[in-house]
Structure 1
């Protein structure tokens, strides 16, 4: 199989590595343009681009694929590259650009998408984050034949995985990336032998996983403790749940990387009030229930346990967090 590939982050790099290892010919990779990253804000290639270059695979990085859009030259160059690559199929995983119709119809077997949810639940940009945030107990990978809609195409293969009580977006991401890398090989093998059996997505149960915004990071202590605890896990590693901790007449923004639901006899308090402190860290009252904050990070610091945080920055009971 001649398998062109479109993807950008680590999630997509896992599947590309699997396709290369399986012996498929990858004549072309599409990925997002290099972006500034790190403290020095130097341009950095995406994980997919880095992997492609290691294997000598040609890479194109259009800003857009719309021939009638704001960057028609980029789109036209990408079209010429795809035509020259003559792929049997285009595999897409977390690419980051909308594929117009000319892309979807160019490969003779169409475009296959590796999507990190059990469609039609969590169509859209952030299915892993939103599944954890919503309290879903299971998720998975769907290999989908792409159409012009947003994750609306027929399903080809589905694999499930449970969401553990301590799963974060980081841990679930890694598990789903490996699952997707294995499942896409099955779909490619079936495509090569004419064994694909597309199944139309159900019309019921459709939800949308909207893109994660930095503004969502701030904890609203008026929410129930169960909701906040899920959001802490959903926002690890990005954008990281945050709260404001008063200090010497000012306040600093602290990231909360882990929290545990308080059980037993915990003093009552207003939302955001520190109602207890022990070796695990501070316990904060919420709109319903309370949370022990067990892993935190001060500005410019590193992630530390609740105990280490309190040693460096005491938090008395009665203090109200923002």
Structure 2
């Protein structure tokens, strides 16, 4: 699943506009993922870092700093920090989820082992903390360290909430903020902070990243039930088969009668799935308007992201970031 499912690609425009600075970010990443004493570290890290990811989060840091008029060197350090945190979480996630593929390639835990993935992820977290101290800005350190804690907290919350029918929309939102939005909002917020922007602009950048991350994750969860598998790279119903309680199902469970609730308990909580259960789940989601309501939520968060950016100085970078907020939900039209 990715941002390549429609023709216009604002993230490609961002990459072109920020190409020189992203080259500096990538050079710093390669330099800091080196290890004199443990060659396994650069081997594992390079496998993931060089896998062709879009580097959207570090680009958001660079873009935010540029929009706010920053002309120093440290937005590059912060962008690399954000990418290290992201890469560390991916290594850990693939172990937790027992994943075999990421970005179309075998995962590090499959090519090496779980121990290597976890420990190299720990190394990257440590490297990210070294990097985030270098600008000498305590507020930046606070934002990024808080984000790292929120991500970890969200992952643990998801372990307990993912198959519990008592999980409501507030808990779902807390999980989404942990797994996706926290790093988006930190990435944009630190760009404004390092530029010395006023508190209103910094808050607007935080709000943009938060809303963009939530919109993206809700869209991702919705497309699991209504997407085109040839376009998304996922099979329709993967989340259902993996017993993940995402927003469409949470909405359907909230509206369920006794018989429908028993169906969700059997398939999601107990994991006793039978032939035809996915089709019945889709029928219930449509019966209660859960798919359309989820779509409206995603579009609403996209609008919040766009409204936040409207408070920042007009520039081509700002306009592309507004387009990006439309783009993450364009798959739902």
The two structures have a TM-score, normalised by structure 1, of 0.30
Greater relative contact order (Cα 8 A, min sep 6): structure 1 or 2? 2
Q: Say which structure is richer in helix.
A: 2
Larger Rg: 1
